A and B are shown apart, each in its own frame.
Chain A
Amino acid sequence: MGVQFDFDAYLPLFTEGMFFVLLFFFSVYGLFLGYHWFSFGASRHTSMIALTTYLLGGAVLFLIFAAAL
């Protein structure tokens, strides 16, 4: 008598786990980018626009991800 792996039961757990792992990496990467832009960038204004774009674009993608969960 073999054990049947229920793929469908683990799928929501996998996607939710992926969501939080990606959220963690996105936030940490954003911190690194922000540090580099504001420390070594040539213009504070450009760095601010870049950080806002990064966060807003990421927020939209994470919202789509969360809505589909």
Chain B
Amino acid sequence: MLSEKIQLDADESILIQVRKHWFIIMLQIVSVVVFALIPLAAFVLLKYVPITVLPISFAEYTPVLISLYSGWLICAWMALFGVWTNYYLDVWTITNKRLIAVDQHGLFNRHTGSFRLERLQDINVTIHGMLATLLDFGDLHAETASDDRDFVARGIPKPQELKALILSATDAITYAQPQSIEKSAEV
């Protein structure tokens, strides 16, 4: 499991695990449901076409049509779980020491990155649009001292609260370090 792979330090604890906002996954689920209903809608529309125009009779091919529609629904069912997998595995884990970001793009495309909170330089929140404002979700952009990569979490819920949590955890580390240095200097 993910928690076994992260390998936390002895004094490290997970503060929060964040996934995308429910609205993001709901949009994707609705698109899959619409995809699943397309043949049904086409069938209903074809019922209004005069029987003389159509080359075949639907009543004659009912078992075949049911088979084909079941196959279509199986494809939609698989797509639905693909969408859910992307949602489930795309997660930001914030501990009292690190930020671990797992970006899942499709089944065989994932990127895992982490940085220690003391390396955090800047953190920005972007909220685009009316729905994002009303439902309180947006993008969180964390810049680190490293040039390699910035960390961006898209469509996460309550980004301002998450920013505050990350900043307070960073402050706790930053202000704890001088004390520990002073203590070691005294010894």
Contact = CB atoms under 8 A, between A and B. Distances in A.
Interface string A13-57: 001001100100110010011001111111110100010001001
Contact of A37 (B5, B75, B85): B85
A61 B36 CA distance: 13
B70 interface: yes
Interface residues of B, number: 28
A69 interface: yes
Contacts of A32: 107
Given A37-B85, A42-B3, A58 B70 contact: no
A69 B74 contact: no
Interface string B96-130: 00000010100100100000000000000000000
A41 B88 contact: yes
B63 A62 contact: no
By secondary structure, the B interface counts as helix
Contact of A33 (B1, B2, B5, B85): B85
Interface residues of A, number: 30
Interface of B: 1-3, 5, 17, 63-64, 66-68, 70-71, 73-75, 77-78, 81-82, 84-85, 88-89, 91, 102, 104, 107, 110
By secondary structure, the A interface counts as helix
Contacts, number: 79
Nearest to B102: A40
B77 to A, nearest CB: 6
B85 A26 contact: no
A64 interface: yes
A50 B67 contact: no
Contacts of B102: 40
A11 interface: yes
Given A18-B67, A40-B2, A50-B81, 11 more contacts: A33-B85, A37-B88, A38-B1, A40-B5, A41-B89, A42-B2, A42-B88, A42-B91, A61-B77, A68-B64, A68-B70
A65 to B, nearest CB: 4
Contacts of B81: 29, 33, 50, 54
Q: Can you list the 9 inter-chain pairs with the closest CB atoms, starting with the nearest? A: A65-B70, A68-B66, A68-B67, A15-B67, A68-B63, A64-B70, A61-B74, A42-B2, A40-B89
Contacts of B107: 32-33, 36
Contacts of A19: 67, 71
